[in-house]
Each structure stands twice: as C-alpha cells, then as structure tokens.
Structure 1
Amino acid sequence: MPPTTRRPCSARPPASSAACRAAHPAAPDAVRPAPRPITAGDLQKFVLVADPQVSPDGRTILFTRRHTDDRHQTVSNLWIVEAPGGEPRQFSSGGKDAMGRWSPDGRQIAFLSGRQKPKSQIFLLPVGGGEARPLTQFPEGSIGEFKWSPDGTRLAVSFRPADPDFTEEARKRREEKGLSEPPRVIEEPLFRLDGDGYFNRQRHALFLVEVATGRTCRIFDRFRDGGFAFAWSPDGAELALAANLDPDAWKKPWRSRLYRFRLADARLTAVPGQADGSRSSVAWSPDGTRLAFAGVLGRDVLWGARNQDLHVVDLATGHTRNLTGGHDLCLEAAILSDCREVEWLSPVHWSPDGRHLFAEIRRAGVTNIGRFDAATGALQDLTDVKAGQVCLGNLSRDGRTFALRLGSPTRLDEIAAGSLARRRLELATVTGFNVPLFEGLALSEPETHFVTAADGTRVQLWMMRPPAVPRSRGKAASVAGKTPRGPAVLEIHGGPHAQYGACFFHEFQVLAAQGYTVFYANPRGSKGYGEAFCEAIKGDWGRHDWTDLQAVIAFMEGRPEVDPRRMAVMGGSYGGFMTNWIIGHTDRFAAAVTDRCVSNLVSMAGTSDAPILPDTYWAGNAWDRPETLWRQSPLRLFGKVATPTLIIHSEGDLRCNVEQAEQIYSCLQVRGVPTRFVRYPASTSHGLSRGGPADLRIHRLGQILDWLGRYLRPSGRPPAPPARARRRR
C-alpha cells in the first residue's frame, strides 16, 4: 500500500511506496545487486502520470497513466487511487484514453479516447462500474477541451473538424479511384501548428453536448486564430470566453478580450473596461461576480518575454486587479523535462468561498503551490519544496483536498494528495509506479551553483556528476589524484523563455551515467527570475545570454572534475540556436550537438508555423529590413565554425523547419567540418525528444552518445571516419 502518513510540505517527495515494496521485496543485503547505470533503453520502462483530478467529495484521485508497450507504442489509460492512500487501480482500458473529468455529482467520468481511430470522441464511464460509452459523434478532427456544466447535464466542448479533403475516409476513396493526394489551397495566414499538423482553413468552435442524449449543437464559431478559453458560470446560464475575435487576430494578438455568452439567446457581451492585451485560462468566481484570467496587458504580448499575470476583473464595473504584478511572478514560467509534455500555463482555481485563488509558483527551477488573496493579491506559499516540483491538478468541492503531482531530479512524477491545513498543504504521495526500477538505478543528484557574469548578473546553474565520481574538495583533490578529470557537456534549454529546474531529465541522467559531468543553466531570457531577467534578450538573442553562458563555461573549465579539452555543447530549439551561436564564436568545445535548431531568423520568419511579425519581438522584417534578423542568425558565423557537429532535426518540425538544419549542414559539409545529419521522419515533430515514439527517442540518445564518444574520448583525437563514409569519398 502507498504511504498514507502526511508529511510536511518542505520534505522531499518520497522515493518509494509500501505497495511497490511489498510487490517487489528487497533482497537481503548480502545478495542485493548494486545499483546499475541508467540507460537510454530504460525509457521504455518508465511509467508516466499526468493530469490528476480529485473527485468532488475529495476521496478519490483520477489520473492518466502512460507506458510504452513491446511495439514501442504509448498505452494511455485512466487510473484511480484513494486520496488518503490505497492501491492504484486501472479505471479505463481503451489504451488511448486521457483527460478524465469528474461529473459534478462524482458519479461518472467523461474522458477523451482515441480508441475509435481515426476519430477521437468523448466517452462516459460510471464510477460505480459498467462499460464506457461514447457520448459524442464528432467527425474526424480535434477535440481541444471540454468542461461539465455545474448541474452535470451538459458539456461545453471545443472541436475543430479536419479538412474534408484530408480525412482518412477521403484518403481511402482516393486510393480506390487511383487518385493522387490533393494539393492544399491556402489563403489563411495560420494553417498549421507544430504537433497538430496542417488544418488549413479549419478552426475550433464551441459546442454544447447533452449528456443524456449526446445531442450536439455548435454555439459559437467566430474564433479567427483558432484559440480560446472558456468557463461555465456558477448558475450554468452563461459561458465566459477569452478570445480574439478581430478579423486580423494573427496580426493583432493583443486584441484578446473577455466575453459573456448567454446560452438562452446566444447573446455575446464584452466585459466592460478592457484594455489591449492577451487573455487565457479564464475562471468564474463562485459567486458569479468576477472572472480570473491569465494575461499580459498591453500590446507587447508575443513570444512570452513578459510576465503572464493573474488578474481578477469585476464583471459589473470592468475594474481589473493584477494579483501577481507585485510579486514579479509569471504563470507561464514552464520548467522543461524530457519525461513530460511542456506545461506552459499554471492551472488557476478559486477557493470555494471566493476569497482566494490557487496557482503554481515557479521560481528558479522549482514549482510550489501558492494562494493569492483575490482582493489584495497577497501571496501565501502553501508548500516550500526546495528542489522538486509540486504541480497542481484541481481541488475538491470543499477546497480542502488537492490533486497533485510530485517529482524531483532523481524521481519521475508520481500522484499525490494535498490536504489544506490552515496556511499549509500537507502532502502524501499515493502512487509509486517507478519505485522498483529507480531503486535499482545509480542516479546523479544535481548540485546548484551560481556564477556571476561579466556585467555582474547572477546566473543559476546545476552540475550533475557521473554517479560513480565522488564530490571533489577543490583543486587540491585533483592535484592529489583523487578527482580524475573527465569529459563534460553543457546543455542549453529551448524556449527561450522557459527554464531548467529540479525535475527528472532522462537525457541528463544517461549522459552522467556514461561518464560525462553535465552542466545546465538558466541564462538571461529564462523564466523564473523576474520579468527584467527574462526580457533582457527580447529581440536580442546572442548578447546577454551569451555573456551569461560564457560565465558558465568558465565555471566548467575551472572544475577539477572537468578536462577542458573534452567539453561539448548541446541544446534544442533556442538551445540549438545558442549551440550554433557558441560554436560560431569559440572553438573551446570538442564537439557540438544542435537539435531542432534555429540557424537563420530571416528564413525562419517565413517557414515557421507562426510567422514573425515585423517590428514586434524583433525590429525590422525579413524582406526589406532584415538587418536585425540576420545579425542574430548563427548562420552568418558559420564561415568560422570548426567544431565537429551532430545535427538532429525532425522532417515534421513545423516550428523550426528542417531547412534551418539543412542550411548549417550544407555549410559545414562544403567547408569540410566533420558533421552528421540525423533526420527523423515527417511523422515526428518539434517535441520528438520529450513526446516522440520511444524507439526514435532511444535512437536519438544513441546518436548523441556515439558522437560525444567519438570526440570526447581521453586521447582528445577524433577517430578515422567510418568505412562507409570513406567509401563515399
């Protein structure tokens, strides 16, 4: 049985559970095997949990559990566990089930399932037992989000149909007739999205679904940019919408507004007194008089450099209060991992009495839960985990039980329950799926350090030693031969406006297990250190961030564990940009790995899924004023690059198109610099390393280890090219 003992919120997430220990009894000390190094293939043994949702009565937590089967396919089902602690048990069995949501009375669960491929539908499953039944009969397309009405009789659903020429049914008809795949005739500026694919002219609309009959009605479809948020009013008579209804919404992202949609007569009314800005994550107060939302007020809303603040607006007067502005916090300060999807925005929930709002507080790589006074913005930290993640799901009806996820740098996330006791949350982990595996692994515990950049900026970094390497005691230890110098890797995160932090990162652990000391940092541009720190690189990549990373590199070179001749640099997305930038400025690294990179901002302005708008985040444009974009493009520096470089990219990447990688590969090949280009198929996307097929992710890690092993070996000399490469010459 998982532990039921409540623990102080400051304690670290537990490493095991009684249930797992009982199912996998420990061997006697004399025969217990020594912990082994983690491998790339261990990815297939991970159990990943997500989206915890506590029942209205606070007794049971519903969550999504995922694992990889023998055919490298992801199996996703709903599981439940008692909030006080108990044996987790499987609740659904479709293999493609997720997004479970309790009905208001707690008697049934609505969830999204892809079991009727290629169509995804919303299913209903009684909590007391029975078979799941499909509620909706949408055509092939994409269900974005759904929410129960307060009385449990309806669901509000966002849905976007697939382009009729590109459905599975249309493909089969063409094959029967011997016809070619049709062209895409596009007139809309936004017609694709990374990870979502090509949707052409189709957009999400808002539907109402009757739970008793499944009857479905489209109620609103004026969302020009395809994105919107919605919430039910407490009496069920209205829906609040956060949306941009401007005909040129993609050019004017600051035209987002809050609306009230009355269901009785489909009347749409704007909340009064609204300024320009972006708005999302809307939540109606329990008394129906206010709306909470996440947003950035003003026109400077692109790319996420500014803080995403928590606001409360009075529906009668339009008066808006910024609750987080005085704390310099951002609700969109994502902490990156390769074992879960990026969670950009924090959930936001009202307390039952309407006096407070709960949200995640993401500071300096750590996530805790905070409570904001809805009238004054005063913040109370409900948890104080120092090196880990406490991630919020939802609250019980009485606001006393929280559904949570807990994780740390040496433990994958597990489900937890939080009990609100006065001004603190008492936490209890209620699953332990990964305990048997992790108890047999030798893992690296990150150390936190700070360095000071040349201009005085303080920068946080982490260092992970190979598990078998003892902690050094300074340079004297190295001189005495107690700390052998070895290879090191600098990892740079993407975003750029995101952050590394205290969560499990499989890639880092695999590198450390292979003998590399791993360094990762949050230079300027990162979230988690205030708005000014993040905005420092707005439209100016490669200056302040490079200054900060030079301080990190100097720190690496000064470590007694590190051989400065055997260092590598690597990163993905913006991290790929900085990798390219660094090897264009220095030859201090023996090898580089640039993954899903940015190399040429001029071409990216037209090939990314989100066109770069002129004179917004960057000055100028890509056609007749490209100077700023070109000055910040690493490609212009590649005439000087001599670092052996592994290039990794997905052909289906719609965010940083594969042409970004092709440009630097061609340059390095023409110049005779050792390089390898690994192209993953068009079925993969920008997020391959964290959400792609397991076999391809393992292959990717194998390519990285092979490349680093070739150029960071003790001799420091690259080996002869492989036989196949020699024959091509």
Structure 2
Amino acid sequence: MTDDLTPGPTPADAAGPFHDLDAYVALPRLGGLALSPDGTRLVTSVSTLDRKGTGYVSALWELDPSGHGAARRLTRSAAGEKGATFTAEGDVLFTSGRPDPGTDDDDAPPALWLLPAGGGEARVLASRAGGVGSPRAATRAPVLVVAGDVLPGARDLEHDEELRAGRTEKKVSAILHSGYPVRYWDHDLGPQSPHVLVADLSDEGLVARASSPAGDRPVPGLEEPRATLRDVTPDAGVALREHTAVVSPDGTTVVVPWAVPEARGARRSVLMAVDTATGDRRVLVDDPDADLWGPEISPDGTRVAFVRETRAAPDRAPVVRLAVVDLAGGDARVIADGWDRWPQQAVWLPDGSGVLVTADDGGRTPVFHVDLTTDEVRRVTADDAAFSDVCVAPDGLWAYALRSSYLEAPTPVRVDLAHALASGEPVAATVLPSPSSTPTLPGVLTEVDATAADGAPVRAFLALPHGAGPDSQAPLLLWIHGGPLGSWSAWSWRWNPWLLVAQGYAVLLPDPALSTGYGQAFVERGWGDWGDAPYTDLMTVTDAAVARDDVDAGRTAAMGGSFGGYMANWVAGHTDRFRAIVTHASLWALDQFGPTTDDATFWGRTMTAEQAERNSPHRSVASIVTPMLVVHGDKDYRVPVGEGLRLWYELLSSSGLAAGDDGRTAHRFLYFPDENHWVLAPQNAVVWYQAVLAFLAEHVLGEEQPLPPAVGEPLR
C-alpha cells in the first residue's frame, strides 16, 4: 500500500456537493481543448445544467495559455456549442443548434458557426437540413472539412434536402438495411450516413447571403458570407459511420478511417485518402490483420500517424500500437513495437521528429514522447493523473491538456515540453486559470496492492471517508470498472466514488486481469475466461482491503456496470461474502447477449460458444443468495435490455432468494425506459444514486433510507 495520495482537506472541509446530489449534478464540467494555429488562444467547453435542470448545455470558454489571464466566456445560447476548432486565420469554428438569426427555426439541426478572431458576434457559416459536425480546418489554407449526414439515394446535397422534407412531411421513420450493424451504443443507424463535406473559406469561396438579426425576412444590404459545402464522398454508403476525418495542413487531402465490409456481416477499417478538390480517393493503408483509427497528419503534410489495433480472436487479445505511413503512399511502419503499453491517438511535434501519446500506465494515463527515428519512448508528465486532449504549441515549447484523477476533475494544464524533452525527465504540469474547480473531497485516497495466485500484482485505488480508522471502520464497496479493456485512472462525473464516500463508505476501485496499463500479459490473463483471473483478482484485492484496520470486513457490497455488471453477476453466483450487489447494464446470459448486442460480429470473433457457455453468469443463478439491485436502460444497445429483463425474471424465479409465495423479494429492478448504457440525464442520474444508496443502506448498514421521491415504493 502506498502513502495517502490526498492533499489537503480536513474533516471540517468535508461538507459539500458530494453530500447533495442536486448540487453535485449542477457542478460545471470541462471537456475538450483546441489551440489556435499561432498558439496564443486555447478554447475549452464547459457544460452546465439547463434552465429546467433536466439536461446539460455547453458553452465555449477561452483560456490563457500563458497562465496569467482569467478564463472568459465566448458563447452563450440555450442550445449550447461544441466541437470548437480554429481556422488558419484564427477564427473559432463550432457547431450549435441555436437558431439562425435569418430564420424562424427554433429546432434547427446543428449548423457551423464562426466567431471572428478580431471579436464580434458569432454568425452562421454553413447550415443544412442534415446538420453538420466534427469540423476540422486546415492550418495553412482556407479549407474546412465537416461531417454531414446524407440520405441513401440522394444524388447530391440539394436532393438530400428534398428527400428529408418528404420523409418529414409523410412521417416516415422506416430504415432499410443491407448490412451490419444497424445500431450503435444508444442510437439507431440510418437511414442517413455520414459523408465528408468540404468548404472553401477563401474570399472567393464564400457566398454573400442576406440576413436579418431580428429573425424576420432577409434584408438586402445585410449580407453575411456563407460557405458552400461539397460532398467529396458521395458514394461512401455506410463506410464512414462513427469515424472522423482529418485534413492536411495545405487543405488538399483528407484522411479518414473507412469501413470495408467482410463476410458474415463483419467490417474492418482501412485508412482512406481523399482529394478535397476532386473527391478522388485511394487506400492509404489496408491491413487485413488490424483495424486502423485515429489518423493525424504531420505538420509538414508528408506523413500520417495512426493507431493499429490487431484483430482479436478467442485465444488472443488485441494488441494496440502506433504506426506511421507516408501520405503519398507506401508501407506503414509500426512504431515502438517493444513498448508494452497501448498508445492512444498521436499528437505531432511541430518539427515532425516525434509524437506525443497518452497511455494507461498503472492506474495513471501520462503523456509520453515517442521518437520516430529511434522508437524510444519517454514519459513526459510526472503527475499521478490521467491526461487527455493534448495540444502542442507551434514552437514546440509547451503542451496543453486536460488533467484529471480521482483527486481532481478535468482541469486545463500547461506542460513544459521543452524542459521534459531536453532533460529526459518527466515534469509536473502547471494548472491554468479555469472556469471551474474541483470541490473539496469528503475523504482521502490511497492505494491497495495485492498478489494474485499466479504471482501477478493487482492494484486498486481506495477512497476512504474522513475519520475512518480502527475505532470507526468504514463499510466497503467494491466497484468494478467496465470495458473490460480499461482502467480506473481518470475522474468520472457519472461513476464517482466520492458520492459513496460522502455517505461513509470506503470505495475500492481495482484493476483486475483484462485491465489496461499493466502490459499485454496482464490483459491476456483474463482473455476468453472472464470468470477466472478477473474474478480471483477482484477477490484477492478485496481481501487485502478488508484486512486494513480502517475497513469493516463484515459490511461489504459489490457494484459494477457493463463488464463490471457482468462481474457483479458472476460474483453473486460464486460467493456469498457480500451483503448486497448492484449490477448496472450487465451481461447475464452470454448466449443471448452475443447475437443481440450492437457489435455481435466482434463478440463472435472473440469468444467461442464454449467460452461463452463456461463464462455465463446465468448458469449460477441458483447459487445467488445475495440481494441484488438490477439497473438497466431500454435504449442500451451495447448490452440490450433483454439481459436485464432475463436476469430479473431468473432472480425472482430461480435464485436462492427467489420470490416467496407472497411474491415478495429482496431483489430490486430499477428500469429507465428512455435511458442508454450510462443513464445520463441529470435527474435520472440523481435517482440512480438515490436508489443505490437506499439499497446499500438497507442491506449493508441495516438502515432505512428514503427511496427517490420521483420513484416511490417499488411496484409489485
């Protein structure tokens, strides 16, 4: 066990939003960073509750990269703004569904807006009935690339507008598929599919259009320059679903992952290069053994860095590596193949000598420098934290990122990149003035280390309430992460341990087998056998936690979502050591889950029928004697609601705590008809935590807590 990681707060500071769910969901939340081409401006988005308190709306804020000036708000609208990026001239581009002043449409699809570099009001730059998203501007040319959904059969963008009007007028919702998949996470795919749209932002490429600030009829003399969007992938079909394009610095070429259909409904992604002037395209990299994603074009426009993820099989986990290819074509080269970590999307250094990547590493996600000549990998950041949204200044002296951990919500920081690269030593990041800050935590954070039966080290974070000790032991909640290829490393607004700590629980956040950040062998330990090493790792690290004198070994519970929910179900059927178990969006019957998840082809490729049968929690339902709270959303397509429905019925009919003659049961089912895999609406998230806390209080603490007022007593 390491030393206490928490700086500062005392028990007197403990009261705060973690004790009040309404106050907690109202906290502002940062996301994303964009740096101007000259490195003088940094923009982030801040999400806050809308006026009704039922959703979140985001606004753009400007940060001072030097760290001297205060953050200032750039945009304000009821619809919110997102997707900030800069043009070569320094204008800020973003997407928003706010009404165009020249129309009366209060329910408009997302349009592209421009906020001039020299100041002034934002104006619409481009709009269409299908909306636009994911803007990327060339850094040295007046060229813009956006994603835009287009209906099948549309001859061009104008015809697409006509087809949309017809579907709307006749209230047609039907979608005709000829391929797979048909759903993704929480939304139906089709009938429209994303295309790459290109615009010329030069004076010659913009067209003046009369507008009216009052929202009445367009008034001659009040002209605003508008961009004309061109579809450079008119025959893309569904190849660009869930992919984002990048544009070369000179604006001549777009690179985008492109889905190629295979037998039995499968797909794999290649890298495609598209000429922005002609729409001509060529396959840049085609690797039959891997999926390719996350392309980034070098500052001089000659090379493309991307992520190569090998295709998993029942007997082998994927391997994730960085690779580089010349934009003109040729063989791709895997970079730093001997580095036993999984790099995420690359960010080029200005001179093209290397890239920065983040990668999970022992419960942290530092920034690393990868030398493209020597393949040497060196850690850049010294912080015990997770970094994301990395940007590099054009002079290469500084890097900027969002930093978070279980001690800190996402916070903008500056990294002395020049010093780190010159010294070869990691450096601590400097916090930039921000629109939001992390509330005082209601406890302390430490770590627990254990050794599995096969000798593998297993570690976990442990969040403890203030005052926990031998004379005031805290009940323990084992919280199992999803994925399963992931790690407890970064702050989560949705899955936040401090809300449980505020109620007196010690929360254990372990990284068992299959977790990333511990090397390929650690992933392989659990591959194809979820009920083996992942389960025993969880029990081993739980044993280490309850051996502490500040944790009550007699009052414990387990909880998890998605794969964590699967593990919660598995735990329920294989031990009675816990007093209560919460299972959210969980896999229950793997033979049923496999063909019905939104990504059945991946499942079929990575787990055999025999493995699925051996590792299916439903086979042990009769052994479940622990009260379970089942949570599921009907709009969850990754783990379809049928898993929750079957689990619920089999708990009542076949478990060791089956419903009695009077129909009563200790189990509970919390169902959200309009929620997805995560349950994201703020008030539904409040109900989620209220129900979980009441369930745990009843069975772990032996106390009665009121159920959510909006839910009331359970239906029988």
Same fold? TM cut 0.5? yes
How far apart in 1 are the matches of 2:408 and 2:289? 42
Aligned pair 1:429/2:431, yes or no?
yes
Q: In the alignment, does 2:670 pair up with 1:678?
A: yes
Instruction: Output aligned runs, 1:378-389, within 5 Å.
Output: 378-385=376-383, 387-389=384-386
- SS of equivalent residue, structure 1 residue 609: coil
What is the distance in 2 between the residues matched to 1:676 and 1:42? Answer: 27
The CA distance in 1 between the partners of 2:96 and 2:59, in whole Å, is 9
Change (3 A) 1:149 1:523: same
2:523 aligned with 1:534, yes or no? yes
SS at match of 1:423: helix
Is 2:369–2:377's contact at 8 Å kept on the other side of the alignment?
yes
Contact 2:309 2:321 in 1 (8 A): yes
CA drift of 1:223 comes to 5.2
Evaluate the alpha carbon distance shift between residue 247 and residue 115 of structure 1 in structure 2; reply closer, same or farther with a 3 A threshold. farther
Structure 1 position 63 matched with structure 2 position 65: no
Tell me, yes or no, if the aligned pair for 1:51 and 1:393 is still in contact at 8 Å: no
Relative to structure 1, the CA distance from residue 15 to residue 375 in structure 2 (aligned partners, 3 Å threshold; closer, same or farther) is: farther
Aligned partner of 1:496 in structure 2 is 484
8 A contact 2:464–2:474 mirrored in 1: no
Q: Which moved more, 1:244-253 or 1:69-78?
A: 244-253
Distance 1:601 1:36 in 2: 43
Q: Is the 8 A contact 2:63 2:434 kept in 1?
A: no
AA matched with 2:374? T
What is the CA-CA distance between 1:43 and the residue it aligns to?
Answer: 1.9
Residues 220-250 of structure 1, C-alpha deviations (whole Å, 9 max, x = no match):
1425442444332343322223323346595
Cα separation, 2, equivalents of 1:169 and 1:467: 60
Moved more, 553-562 or 702-711: 553-562
Distance 2:264 2:413 in 1: 40
By how many angstroms is 1:259 displaced?
3.1
Where do residues 102-141 of structure 1 align in structure 2 (5 Å cutoff)?
A: 102-106=86-90, 108-116=91-99, 117-141=107-131
Are 1:308 and 2:289 an aligned pair?
no
Closer, same or farther: CA 434–285 of 1 in aligned 2, 3 Å? closer
Which of residues 189, 193, 199 is equivalent to 2:189? 199
Residue 580 of structure 1 pairs with residue 592 of structure 2: no
2:38 aligned with 1:41: no
Q: Conserved in 1, the CA contact under 8 Å of 2:633 and 2:672?
A: yes
- Structure 1 CA distance for aligned equivalents of residues 355 and 671 of structure 2: 45
Structure 2 Cα separation of the partners of residues 646 and 495 of structure 1: 21
Please, which moves more after superposition, 638-647 or 223-232?
223-232
Distance in 1 of aligned mates of 2:281 and 2:314: 27
Q: 1:650 to 1:169 in 2, by over 3 A?
A: farther
Alignment of 1:329-348 (within 5 A): 329-331=341-343, 346-348=344-346
**How far apart, CA to CA, are the structure 2 residues paired with 1:552 and 1:202?**
47
Stretches of structure 2 that go unaligned for 5 or more consecutive residues are: 100-106, 153-159, 208-226, 422-426, 660-664
2:63 counterpart residue number:
81
Partner of 1:467: 466
**Count of paired positions:** 651
In structure 2, what is the equivalent of residue 631 of structure 1? 614
Provide the C-alpha distance between the structure 1 equivalents of 2:705 and 2:142, rounded to a whole number of angstroms: 67
Give the structure 2 partner of residue 337 of structure 1.
Answer: none
| Among 289, 296, 302, the residue aligned to 1:283 | 296
TM-superposed CA distance for 1:105, in Å, is 2.6
Q: CA deviation at 1:432?
A: 4.1
Which of 700, 710, 715 aligns to 2:688? It is 700
Deviation at 1:453, TM superposition (A): 1.3
Do the aligned partners of residues 434 and 565 (structure 1) sit closer, same or farther apart at CA in structure 2, a change above 3 Å counting?
Answer: same
**Quick check: 353-362 or 283-292, which moved more?**
283-292
Q: Is the 8 A contact 1:13 1:429 kept in 2?
A: no
Following the alignment from structure 1 to structure 2, what is the Cα–Cα distance between the partners of residues 289 and 172?
45
**Cα deviation per residue 1:287-319 (whole Å; 9 max; x = unaligned)?**
33322111124x438999423211112456723
Higher deviation after alignment, 309-318 or 86-95:
309-318
2-side partners of 1:144 and 1:132: how far apart? 17
More off after superposition, 450-459 vs 228-237: 228-237
The Cα shift of 1:615 comes to 5.2
| Identical positions, percent | 25
Contact 1:291 1:314 in 2 (8 A): yes
Matches within 5 A, 1:386-535: 387-424=384-421, 427-435=429-437, 438=439, 441-470=440-469, 478=470, 483-501=471-489, 503=491, 507-535=496-524
Contact 2:271 2:286 survives alignment (8 Å): no
Partner of 1:609: 598
Within a 5 Å distance, the mapping from 1:289-328 to structure 2 comes to 289-297=302-310, 299-300=311-312, 305-315=317-327, 318-328=330-340
Where in structure 2 are the equivalents of 1:251-262 lying within 5 Å?
Answer: 251-253=266-268, 256-262=269-275
The question of whether the paired residues in 2 share the 8 Å contact of 1:304 and 1:497 is answered with no
Shift of 1:76: 0.5
Does structure 1 retain, via aligned residues, the 8 Å contact 2:45–2:58? yes
Going from structure 1 to structure 2, the CA distance change for 1:249 and 1:639 (only over 3 Å counts) comes to closer
Distance 2:715 2:418 in 1: 69
Q: Secondary structure at the match of 1:200?
A: coil
Shift of 1:219: 0.7
Counterpart code for 1:389: A
Q: Is 1:568–2:570 an aligned residue pair?
A: no
Secondary structure in 2 aligned to 1:327? coil
Measured at CA, do residues 168 and 489 of structure 1 come closer, stay the same or move farther in structure 2, by a change above 3 Å? farther
Q: 1:185 to 1:35 in 2, by over 3 A?
A: same
Amino acid at match of 1:113: S
Shift of 1:392: 3.5
Match of 2:442, as an amino acid?
L
Does the 8 Å contact 2:6/2:444 carry over to 1? no
Q: Distance in 2 between matches of 1:131 and 1:726?
A: 51
Q: CA offsets, 1:663-703, max 9 Å, x none?
A: 11111222225111111132x21122xxx121111111000
8 Å CA contact retained: 2:441, 2:498: no
RMSD of aligned residue pairs (Cα, Å): 3.3
Q: Which runs of 5+ in 1 are unaligned?
A: 1-11, 17-28, 332-345, 471-477, 621-626
Greater than 6 Å deviation, 4+ residue runs = 12-16, 162-172, 301-304, 724-729
Counterpart for residue 532 of structure 2: 543
Residues 126-174 of structure 1 deviation map (CA, whole Å, 9 limit, x = unaligned): 1222221122222235x45221124442211222247899999778745
TM-score of the aligned structures, taking structure 1 as reference length: 0.82
Q: Secondary structure at the match of 1:329?
A: coil
Specify the alignment match of 2:180 in structure 1. Answer: 189
C-alpha distance in 2 between matches for 1:508 and 1:84 = 33
Deviations 1:639-672 (A, max 9, x none): 2211111111111111111111111111122222
Tell me if structure 1 keeps the 8 A contact 2:449–2:544: no
Q: Offset of 1:46 from its aligned partner?
A: 1.4
Tell me the residue number matched to 2:218: none
Counterparts of 2:130 and 2:315 in 1: how far apart (Å)?
Answer: 31
Q: Secondary structure at the match of 1:278?
A: strand
Q: Which moved more, 1:58-67 or 1:112-121?
A: 112-121
Aligned with 1:146 (options 135, 146, 150):
135
What's the counterpart of residue 240 of structure 1?
Answer: 255
| Contact 1:208/1:217 (8 A) holds in 2 | yes
Give, in angstroms, the shift of residue 572 of structure 1: 0.2
**How does the TM-score come out when normalised to structure 2?**
0.84
Distance in 1 (CA, whole Å) between partners of 2:714 and 2:259 is 58
SS at structure 1 position matched to 2:260? coil
Q: Structure 1 pair 597/275, CA: closer, same or farther in 2 (3 Å)?
A: closer
